[in-house]
Amino acid sequence: MLKHFALSEFACSCCGRVHMDQGFLLKLDKARGKAGVPFNINSGYRCPTHNREIGSTSENHTSGHAVDIGCTGGPERICILRGLIAVGFRRIGIRKDFIHVDDMDKVESCWLY
C-alpha cells in the first residue's frame, strides 16, 4: 500500500492508535516520492485526549487528515513543499522545525506559526 511510510509512523504518541484517512495517506506517500527527501512524521493521528492535552482545538489530526513533517532547514523544506504542492495539497502551515499539511478544508491556505 504505502511505499515510503510504515503505518506506525502515524501512531498517536498517547495511545498508539492509528486512524489515518487512507486517501490522505496515499496522497502523502505520492508527495514523499516527488519530494525526494524523507518525511519525518512528528505528529500524525492524535486521539481526542492527546489533542486536548497539547492544547489543540483543531480536529485535523483527530480526523486522520493531517500530519506535521519535521524539517531542519531551507533546502529540505523547499523539497517537502514542492512535493506537497505537486500532488495537490493546498493547506500548509510552516514553522521553523516542521511543516503541517492537511486536507480538511477546501479553502487554499498557507500560514506561519
Q: What residues have CB less than 8 Å from 75, skipping those under 6 apart?
A: none
CATH domain 8-112 topology: Muramoyl-pentapeptide Carboxypeptidase; domain 2 (3.30.1380)
Q: According to DSSP H, which parts of 11-73 are helical?
A: 22-35, 48-53
Domain ranges of the chain: 8-112
Rounded-to-integer distance, Cα 52 and Cα 12, Å = 13
Where residue 29 falls among pLDDT bands split at 50, 70, 90?
A: very high
Where residue 24 falls among pLDDT bands split at 50, 70, 90?
A: very high
Count the neighbouring beta carbons within 10 Å of the beta carbon of residue 37.
16
Q: Specify the pLDDT at position 105.
A: 86
Q: What is the mean pLDDT of residues 32-38?
A: 98
Short-list 37, 110, 113, CA closest to 76: 37
Rounded-to-integer distance, Cα 60 and Cα 51, Å = 10
pTM of the model: 0.96
3-state secondary structure of 78: helix
Q: Report pLDDT digits (tens) over 37-94.
A: 999 999 999 999 999 999 998 999 999 999 999 999 999 999 999 999 999 999 999 9
Q: What is the mean pLDDT of residues 101-109?
A: 93
Q: Specify the pLDDT at position 106.
A: 85
